[in-house]
Every structure is written in structure tokens, then in C-alpha cells.
Structure 1
Amino acid sequence: MQSAAFALSPSPSTPVLRSRSSIPNPNPRCAILSAFPTAKPSVSPIRRGGAITGISGPLRALSPRLGGWDTAPVSFSPPKQDVAVRATSVSENADENPAKNSELVQTLLLGSLFGLWYLFNIYFNIYNKQVLKVFPNPLTITTCQFLVGTVLVLFMWATNFYKKPKITSSQLVAILPLAMVHTLGNLFTNMSLGKVSVSFTHTIKAMEPFFSVLLSAMFLGEQPSVWVLCSLAPIVGGVALASMTEASFNWAGFWSAMASNVTFQSRNVLSKKVMVKKDESLDNINLFSIITILSLFLLTPVMLFVEGVKFTPSYIQSAGLNLNQLYLRALISGLCFHAYQQVSYIILSKVSPVTHSVGNCVKRVVVIVTSVLFFRTPVSAINSIGTGIALAGVFLYSRVKKIKPKTA
């Protein structure tokens, strides 16, 4: 019988198979594999392109022993290849860096939003005061501001810059009271800005926390904590001290600012009382947009009945006013009016109400200081102290507000 045994090539390269007949047997103990069918090793040749290039499976050699043949495994090691390993240094904080970068980006974004909020509010108060000083028609000015906001909202929805919400009739009925008090709040604010200085108007508007606590206790049954009541004392005392020493004080401007406090805080309480049902498309920004449109429709007939049409070019020129300058300032004030409120809602969606309240307190300080510097408003030392005490009380209130009140 012709031998069919295979042996490994001693070559260091890929092993090849050779017939046993062509290789001298250096070990007499090795036997022909095919001659012993009872000990069949599971060896299969690997073929590439018709030629046998290797062996798959374990290869076992046979050796004689008493009572039979013993099979001993033959180790097969593939050729070793040189592998170059290069060590690289890895930062211990590699996993933390992306998180830190993300936090840094979020912080910068939030800081930019606060900066825009303050900037838009400053420009709104400056240009709005300039318009109301020469054109004392607060109904017309407020209607124009709602008109500019409505145009921006419709443009935002038409260009898909912001998704248009789906509003039901029941939601409109619930939103309508909010739009009414929102309209009155902005109207009273413009009436106060037309009568007194910007700094004094915002000093009186620092009384908002007082009316918030009062209305919440009356209509929601919320009992304020002792710390909240203590924070209201410097607010009331500071506003009273500033009012007594205000150079531009008059009762019309004072009560208009007080009325704006009542209406704006009524809007907040009413929103909790009504509990407008929102879906995914009706967020705070779209809710404010709908309120702006409704305010335009609510205020326009009142403006036409009370003040008439006084914003035409012929009327303005007949009053001896600069037409282009008045229109430009009114447009800028309308744009800033809508922009700072939109940014305020965006910030509110990113931070807690307490943080937003603190930011609003700082914003009021910035507006008061910049308006005093821009308009060169005469401010006495006692007036400054009163304003500072009131604003310190607002800041204290915003800090202790996180203590949840007890519900009756």
C-alpha cells in the first residue's frame, strides 16, 4: 500500500504538506496513518488554488505501546509575525472632557440669553420712553407693539422657524382671560412710562412680589412662609421711601405702575387657576405668541374709540414731529418689546422659577441704572437708598420663594 502520511515542513514559512514516501523517516516509532483506520485523526488539508497549503484540525502521531497503539498530540504553532506595539498616553479625564465641554457650552448659551434679555429690555425702555415723551398716546403705542409682535409671530410660523401650534376652541376660551390681563398690564406700564421716569416706574414695579403673595393667598389659598413675609417689608418700605423723594412723581404715573403690578400678577395667578391644557405644540413660547395676537384684537377697537387714528403721517407731521425718527423708534421699541419677552420664556424653560426671578431682579437693577445714566434723571441720595432697599427686598424674596407655601 502506498503511503499517504503527511509531515510538517521545517520551513519557517507557511507549512506545506509532503508525501511520506519522499521524506526519510527519522523516527521509526511513527507509523503510516492510513494503515490504522481505527485511529483516524481529524486532519483536513487546506486547499488554495488547487494546491494544499496547510492543515486544519489537530494532528496526532501514533506510537506503539503494550496492548495497542497510543496517540500523542503533536503541537502545531502558526508562524509568528512581528507585531509592533506603540504605547500612547491617555488622559485620565478623557471621559469627563465631553461632559465638561457640554456644560461649558450650556453655560455660555444661558449667559448669552440673559445678556440678550437685559439688552432688549434696556432698548425697549429707552426707545419707548422717547416715543411716549413726544407722542403721549399709550393706547396707540401699545397697539403698535402688539402689531409688531403679531407680524413676527406669523412670520415665524409661516417660515417654520417655530412650529405652529394646534389650538382648540376650549384652549382659546381658557387663554382669552390671560390675554385680557396681559393687555392691561402692558397698557398700564406704557401709561406710567409716559408720566414718570423709567427708573421710578421700575421702582414701583418692584412691588410685584407683594401683589403676588396677596393674590395667591386670596384666590389660591396659599399661605406664605414667615421668611416670605419678612422679605416683603423692605420692598414696601423702599418703594415708599423712593416715592416720597422722586422728582418726577405724579399720581397718574404712580397708580398706573401699581395697576400694572396687579394685572401682571393676576395673569400669573389666573394661569394657575385656569390651568390651560397644553399639548406638545403649545409650549410657553407659542402660548405667549397666541396671547400677543389676541391682545392685538382686543386693544385695537379700544384704541380707535378712545384715541382715534393718530399714527398717520399727516397727523404726525401736523403735530410738528419728525416722522421718520418717530416711526423708527416705535418700530425698534416694538421689536425689543416682543424679543425680550420671548427670550424671557426661553430662559424660563431652561432654569428654575427661582433662578428666573433672581435674573428678573438683576434685570430691573440694570434697567434703572442705565435709564438714569441715559436720560440723566436727577436722583437724590434718599431716593437711591429707597430704591436699593426695595430691590434688595426683591432679591431676598426670590431666594426664600423656594420654600413651598402651605395650601389651605
Structure 2
Amino acid sequence: MEDNPAIEPHGPKARHRATSPAPKVKPSGKAAASKPVEAQAAQEWLAMLGWIALLVITQLLMIVFAKRCTGQAPLPLLLCLAQFTISAVLSSSASHALSRSRKSKAGNAAPGTPAQLLAPWTVLADILPLSAVWTGGFVMFNAAALHMSPGMVNVIRCMEPLATVCVGAGLGQQFSWQVLATLVPICGGVAMASLTTGSFSATGICFAMVSNVAFCCRSFSLQRLRRNPHNKLDDLAVFFNVSWTATVALPFLQVPLEGAQVLPSLQALGDRRWIFAMDLLASSVFFFLYQFVQLLVMTQLSPLAFSVLTPVVKALMIVVLTLYYGDEMSPLSALGVVLSVAGGYLFTLAKSNSGRAKDVQKNT
């Protein structure tokens, strides 16, 4: 048994000490310092949840309205032309609004240089390949959604890291074994999901795989653009230049490939032409909002938080689209989706760790 501590008898001095106020204890430095850290972590998680909700909502509405458009008139190039045209107008307006907001905050006493919107000729040479792969990725995505459910297209989109490794290897980049090992759960998970689900289509899978190659090339094109010493564009200005160049270039593809189908498809709609036009406008607006929210996320969140957010959004989109379109998904295919999304997260972490290790070796 433990000995009870000795209790002092209640004499006069003891009573005086008992009634006197207790001495104040100063909080320790660690406890005081941990509160701001915990509050900051909680705020970052709340911000991440908000960004996840915005990304899921804008992407979901973009895909739903795009699917409605291609369901009424199978014209994916026309859809992309509308999306990039509206995005060019809205991104220009957003850039001017942000520039005015920054000016009003700075005041008349400290006028800053206005943000550059239009890319100069020395930068346009790097904008054009970025615009080509950005546009091609969405054209292929819309074409894939013509042949199978958007939820299943997003499952195939989980294999984008494989395309990144293949394209990077073709450009002479080397990847660590940790990065290559993450391709096993990614490819295995997608194979499990596709083999156990009957709503996949060979044509849709091919289009989705081509979109993976196009989307992964965006990062390589962006790296080339950022190395350009004449580049003074912010992210919103980059998207504006991508949008207007896509708007100029797409008719050269759309007219020979879809031109003969436009009038018959619109005439077949009859009185539903206005519904098609409103769906086209809604898809284009949410296309811009999704891209704009993505740009905000990349500037507001840390790289680690962004690496967590991306696979979470991808997983939520697969679940939401599968439920919305009523796709059948067996437990084995659901496990495959989880494996591929988890592999995508591990791929991001392994790639960032490998990049940091290379930077340390260069500095030493």
C-alpha cells in the first residue's frame, strides 16, 4: 500500500495559509506555444475541407453539364471551344478585378505596376505547347465521357502518374525506385476496378489514357514556361493565354472534324436547342470556376496539403459520379479504386521527397 502524505494540523498559521490566495502559476512556454500551432493546424484543415468542397462541386457541375451537352449533341470539340472561349472572357475579367483590388489596397501613395495579362512574343512560344496539351486533355476527356460514364473516366484518370513516368523517361528524367514502386498499386487498382465493372468501354479507355498523357505534359510545359526569363505572368494570366490561344486554334480542328455534324445535330434538337445552349454555357462557366479554384488552391495551401487534397478530391469525384450516374461497382472494384487513389498519393509524396533529396545533393 502507498503511504498517505502527512496532513498538517489546522493551527492558526495553517488556517491563515489555507485562506490566503494560492500563488499564481505561470503557464509553461511549451503549452503557450502549442496553442497557436494547434489553432493554425485546425485552420489549415478547415481551409482544406472548404477547398475540397469547392473543387468537388465545381468539377461535378462542369462534368454533369458537359455530359448533358454531349448526350444531346455528340460534339466534344464544340464543347471545348465554348469552354475555353468563356474561360478567356472570365479569366480576363477576374484578372482586371484582382488588379483593381490590389490597387485599392495599396492606395494612391504606392501605385504598383499593373499585372501583365497578355503574353509577349518571347513567352508565347512556351504558352503554345502548354495550351495544346491543356486543350487536348479536355478534348480527350469529353470524348471519353461520350463512350462511358464520367465516373469510370475518372477511374482511368487515376493512372496519370504512369503517363508522367513514361513521358518523363522519354524526356531524359530519372525516377527513384520509391516513385516507380507506387505505380504497382495505381495500375493494379485500376485493373481491378475495370475488370470487375461492366460499364467500361475500350474506346473510352483509349481516350482517357490519351487525356492522361496530355494532362501530365502540362507540368513539363509549365516547368519550361517558368524557366523563361521573360515570363512575368501570374497563374491567372497563364490560364487566360492558354484559353485565348485554344479559342483561336480549336476551330481549325472543329470545322474539318465536326463541321458537317453541327447543323444536323442542332436541327435534331428542335425546341431543345435553348436547353442545349444553357447547358453549354453552364458547363463553360463551371469549367472556368474549377480551373480558377485550382489556381487558388495551389497558391493558398502548402505543397504537402495540396498533395493530400488531390487524391481526396479524385476519390470523392469517383464516388459522387458513380452514385449520380448509377454505375454498378462491386466491392472488388471499390477496393481497386481505393488502391489506385492511395497509390496516387504515395506517388506525389515519393516524387516530392525525391526532389528534395536531389536539391540537398546539389547544395552539398
Q: Report the TM-score when normalising by structure 1.
A: 0.69
Task: Identify which of 78, 97, 101 aligns with 1:140.
Answer: 78
Q: Is the 8 A contact 2:130 2:242 kept in 1?
A: yes
Matched, 1:347 2:297: yes
Matched, 1:399 2:349: yes
Structure 1 partner of 2:160: 208
Matched, 1:248 2:203: no
How big is each residue's C-alpha offset from its partner over 1:73-96, in whole Å with a ceiling of 9 and x where there is no partner?
Answer: xxxxxxxxxxxxxxxx9x979x98
How big is each residue's C-alpha offset from its partner over 1:114-168, in whole Å with a ceiling of 9 and x where there is no partner?
Answer: 3212210111122212222222111111111111111212323455558443532
Q: Distance in 2 between matches of 1:365 and 1:146?
A: 26
Q: Is the 8 A contact 1:183 1:295 kept in 2?
A: yes
Matched, 1:332 2:270: no
Task: Identify which of 140, 143, 151 aligns with 2:89.
Answer: 151
Structure 2 partner of 1:178: 130
Matched, 1:297 2:284: no
Alignment-mate amino acid for residue 153 of structure 2: T
Matched, 1:226 2:177: yes
Structure 2 partner of 1:114: 52
Alignment-mate amino acid for residue 184 of structure 2: A
Larger Rg: 1
Matched, 1:379 2:341: no
For structure 1, the residue ranges without an aligned partner over 5 or more in a row are: 1-88
Task: Please report the RMSD computed on the Cα atoms of aligned residues, expressed in angstroms.
Answer: 3.1
Q: Distance in 2 between matches of 1:340 and 1:375?
A: 21
Task: Identify which of 295, 301, 306 aligns with 2:257.
Answer: 306
Shift of 1:196: 0.7
Q: Is the 8 A contact 2:197 2:329 kept in 1?
A: yes
Higher fraction of strand: 1
Structure 1 partner of 2:216: 265
Give the paired residue count.
316
- SS in structure 2 opposite 1:404? helix
Q: Distance in 2 between matches of 1:322 and 1:398?
A: 44
Q: 1:276 to 1:174 in 2, by over 3 A?
A: farther
Alignment-mate amino acid for residue 189 of structure 1: F
Report 1:64-103 matches (<5 A): none
Q: Distance in 1 between matches of 2:191 and 2:245?
A: 35
Q: Distance in 1 between matches of 2:353 and 2:126?
A: 29
Alignment-mate amino acid for residue 243 of structure 2: T
Q: Distance in 2 between matches of 1:103 and 1:248?
A: 41
Task: Identify which of 293, 297, 314 aligns with 1:364.
Answer: 314
Q: 1:280 to 1:188 in 2, by over 3 A?
A: closer
Sequence identity, in percent? 25
Q: 1:273 to 1:219 in 2, by over 3 A?
A: farther
Higher fraction of helix: 2
Q: Report the TM-score when normalising by structure 2.
A: 0.77
Task: Identify which of 64, 84, 91 aligns with 1:126.
Answer: 64
Q: Is the 8 A contact 2:161 2:344 kept in 1?
A: yes
How big is each residue's C-alpha offset from its partner over 1:56-111, in whole Å with a ceiling of 9 and x where there is no partner?
Answer: xxxxxxxxxxxxxxxxxxxxxxxxxxxxxxxxx9x979x98999878776665554
Looking at both structures, which has the greater relative contact order when contacts are Cα pairs under 8 Å and sequence separation is at least 6? 2
Shift of 1:214: 2.3
